[in-house]
Amino acid sequence: MLPWIFALAAAAGSPAPEGPPPRPRLVIAGGALFGPHAPGESTCQVRQGVQRCEHTGNFLGVGANLELRARIVGPLYFHGRAAVVGNVRQRPYGVHRGLVDVGGGLGVYSRLAFIRVEYMFVPTFGPNTYLPPFYDKQSGRDVWGRSAGMVSGGVRKYFTPRLAGELWGGLVIGPHSKRTTLQEDAGIDRILVTFLASVGISFDLIPGREPPPPRPAPTATPVAPAPAPAPTPESAPAVTAPAPAAPVEPVEPAPAEAAQPSPAGGPAIGPWQPAPQ
- Whether the per-residue pLDDT at 30 is higher than 90: the answer is yes
Q: In the prediction, which pLDDT does 153 show? A: 97
Q: Could you give the CA distance from residue 106 to residue 114 in angstroms, rounded to a whole number? A: 11
Q: Could you give the CA distance from residue 47 to residue 33 in angstroms, rounded to a whole number? A: 40
Rounded to the nearest 5 degrees, what angle is found at the Cα of 162, between the Cα atoms of 156 and 168?
Answer: 20
Q: In angstroms, what is the C-alpha Rg of the chain?
A: 55
Q: In which band, very low, low, confident or very high, does the pLDDT at 20 lie, cut at 50, 70 and 90?
A: confident
Q: In which band, very low, low, confident or very high, does the pLDDT at 11 lie, cut at 50, 70 and 90?
A: very low
Q: Which of 155, 77, 156 is nearest to 118 (CA)?
A: 77
Instruction: Report, at the CATH architecture level, how domain 22-40+54-206 is classified.
Output: Beta Barrel (2.40)
The one-letter amino acid code at 262 reads S
Greater pLDDT, 133 or 173: 173
- Whether the per-residue pLDDT at 171 is higher than 80: the answer is yes
Q: Looking at the chain, list the stretches that DSSP marks H as alpha helix, in order from N- to C-terminal side.
A: 2-13
Instruction: Determine the average pLDDT of the residues in 14-43.
Output: 84
Greater pLDDT, 134 or 274: 134
Helix, strand or coil, per DSSP, at residue 186: helix
- Tell me if 133 sits within 8 A of 41, measured CB to CB: yes
Residue partners of 96: CB distance under 8 A and separation at least 6: 59, 87, 124, 125, 126, 127, 128, 142, 144
Greater pLDDT, 174 or 251: 174
- Whether the per-residue pLDDT at 229 is higher than 70: the answer is no
- Tell me if 155 sits within 8 A of 131, measured CB to CB: no
- Whether the per-residue pLDDT at 162 is higher than 70: the answer is yes
Q: What is the DSSP string of 143-193?
A: EE-SEEEEEEEEEEEESSSSEEEEEEEEEEEEEEEEEE-SSGGG-EEEEEE
Helix, strand or coil, per DSSP, at residue 55: strand
Q: In which band, very low, low, confident or very high, does the pLDDT at 242 lie, cut at 50, 70 and 90?
A: low
Greater pLDDT, 216 or 5: 216
Q: Could you give the CA distance from residue 95 to residue 246 in angstroms, rounded to a whole number? A: 137
CA–CA distances in Å: residue 66 to residues 35, 104, 141, 269: 15, 12, 31, 149
Instruction: Determine the average pLDDT of the residues in 163-190.
Output: 89
- Whether the per-residue pLDDT at 214 is higher than 50: the answer is yes
Q: Which of 82, 43, 40, 87 is nearest to 61 (CA)?
A: 87
Residue partners of 277: CB distance under 8 A and separation at least 6: none
- Tell me if 141 sits within 8 A of 126, measured CB to CB: no
pLDDT tens for each residue of 69-114: 999 999 999 999 999 999 999 888 899 999 999 999 999 999 999 9
Q: In the prediction, which pLDDT does 240 show? A: 60
Half-sphere exposure of 223 (CA within 13 A, CB side): 3
Q: In the prediction, which pLDDT does 15 show? A: 46
Work out the percent of the chain whose per-residue pLDDT is above 90.
Answer: 52
- Whether the per-residue pLDDT at 2 is higher than 50: the answer is no
Q: In the prediction, which pLDDT does 21 show? A: 83
Helix, strand or coil, per DSSP, at residue 95: coil
Instruction: Determine the average pLDDT of the residues in 165-179.
Output: 96
Q: In the prediction, which pLDDT does 176 show? A: 95
Any idea what DSSP says for residue 16?
P
Number of H helices, E strands in the chain: 1, 13
Greater pLDDT, 49 or 6: 49
Instruction: Determine the average pLDDT of the residues in 52-66.
Output: 93
The one-letter amino acid code at 68 reads L
Greater pLDDT, 80 or 243: 80
